[in-house]
Amino acid sequence: MKTTLLSFYIFSLVCLFTQAHATGYVVINLNDSGAGSLRAAITSANADASASSSSPHLISFDIFGGGTISLASNLPALDNDITVYGQAEQITISGGTGIRGFSINAGKTVLLHNLVVRNGKLSSQAGAGIANAGDLTLEYCTITSNNVSGSAQGGGISNSSSGTIDVTNCTIAGNVAGNNGGGFVNYGSLNIVNSTITGNSASDGGGIASYNDLVMINCTVTANNGGGIYYVPGSGTVALLNTISVGSVTGNDLYAASAATIISGYGLYGTVNAPITFNGAPNTTDATQSDVFGTNVLANNGGSTQTIAIIAGGPAVDNGTATSAPTLDQAGQSRSGATDIGAFEYQPVPTATFTRLSEDLVTVYSNPGNGVFDVEIGAGIQGSYDWKIVDMKGKVLQSTGSIEKGNESQMQQINLSGQAQGTYLLIITTGKGIVNKSLVKL
């Protein structure tokens, strides 16, 4: 079962980046409704019958500097095959009392990229940030500060029995459930890779409460209230690889409602309750938050989403396996030497080298585009720099040597016309830090 689940996840992730799009809809303002709004784009995309799972509609944003869309009411449920593609400067979808971020209907294939979903507040429904009944992919997203009260489950994200969710390079933080599943509640199939789940709260499963299939690869779960990963045994399977779950404020870091066997390899856990038996080795238990992270907390360590850096000499460093591990960590850094456990790869160089610089220092024109991108290196980058292009599997496709630059803007052109449709990462490295930009070839 472990091999089947992991292989399926990797196969489905690769397929996402080779699909064409049916119709494009562009959001041009931060308004709650009206022409050019996200609400109008979803309404139009729902009504257009030309989409399919292999050729979904594309909703993109053309809003200088990004910003926040504050919802006055629930958005229409995503009721078609749709990709919602946030821009490099990031778009925040903010709910409110009685208002959630997104709903995905059963039988629909949806991709949400580079979005922040926050402040959904519900009293009797699951999933204040996102409620999914379809086939949902989340990448480079932050789901934060969402809340369900009373007996409701899934403060951040709920996944129904008909739903499948694939999560990569995301941060799920600060969400609250009155019942179970502060960050996630899962009744379907949930696959999480290279992601951080921290600071969430619930009665059980502050980080995750899973009642069905759960796969986690190179994930970090820490500082959740009400436990880290909670499993209710049934027909599902839990498979964990290179995953950290330590430092729950209250509750156990990994536990089950009754006796359960969990597939786990190269796991690093704190408190594990007695009914759990591991199928796989090696695994480490009784680790503490300070053992693994020292005093490090959620921060911008590079990439589009925040991470928690592990410390040199800690039990997470060099103790994972490269098998099935992503080539890059959540922060966009290459795996260094032996693979580390968790979403963050310790770098044997000063942390300042990987300081995340403002994306405003670099501007990409015609993005999404046809594969030829004009890149303006702004005046704020001076001295020497280099850049490289990597695909979503971490393979370096293009790279440069050192380029010298004065205090004027400088133009570079990147040609991906020979590559398949999909998402690529531009990494610009300077003496002061790195700038990451997503490039989307249509």
Q: Which of 265, 253, 259, 139 is nearest to 206 (CA)?
A: 253
Q: Are strands 422-430 and 135-139 parallel, antiparallel or unpaired?
A: unpaired
Mean pLDDT of the region 244-265:
97
Q: Please tell me the distance from the alpha carbon of residue 398 to that of residue 388, in angstroms, as a whole number.
A: 5
The pLDDT assigned to 2 comes to 32
The pLDDT assigned to 302 comes to 82
The pLDDT assigned to 311 comes to 95
The pLDDT assigned to 197 comes to 98
How is 251-277 classified by DSSP, letter by letter? S-SEEESS-EEEEEESEEES-B-TTEE
* Alpha carbons within 13 A on the beta-carbon side of 321: 14
The enclosing H or E element of 440 equals strand 434-441
The enclosing H or E element of 2 equals helix 2-16
Q: DSSP label at 68?
A: E
Assessment of whether the complete model's pTM goes beyond 0.85: no
Tell me the helices (H) and strands (E) count for the chain, helix number first: 3, 39
Q: How many residues does the chain have?
A: 442
- Confidence at 93, pLDDT banded by 50, 70, 90: very high
Between 147 and 419, name the one with better pLDDT.
147
The pLDDT assigned to 82 comes to 98
Mean pLDDT of the region 76-105:
95
| Whole-number Cα distances in Å, 194 to 50, 200, 264 | 33, 18, 16
Per cent of the chain over pLDDT 70 is: 93
Between 90 and 176, name the one with better pLDDT.
176
Q: What is the CA radius of gyration of the chain?
A: 21
- Average pLDDT score over the chain: 91
- Confidence at 13, pLDDT banded by 50, 70, 90: very low
The enclosing H or E element of 241 equals strand 238-241
User: 237 φ, ψ to 5°?
Assistant: -130, 140
Query: What does the pLDDT look like over 178-229, one tens digit per residue?
Result: 999 999 999 999 999 999 999 999 999 999 999 999 999 999 999 999 999 9
Q: DSSP label at 210?
A: E
The pLDDT of residue 437 is above 70: yes
Q: Which of 272, 273, 390 is nearest to 328 (CA)?
A: 390
The enclosing H or E element of 4 equals helix 2-16
Q: Which domains does the chain have, with CATH numbers?
A: 2-293 (2.160.20), 357-441 (2.60.40.3080)
Per cent of the chain over pLDDT 90 is: 74
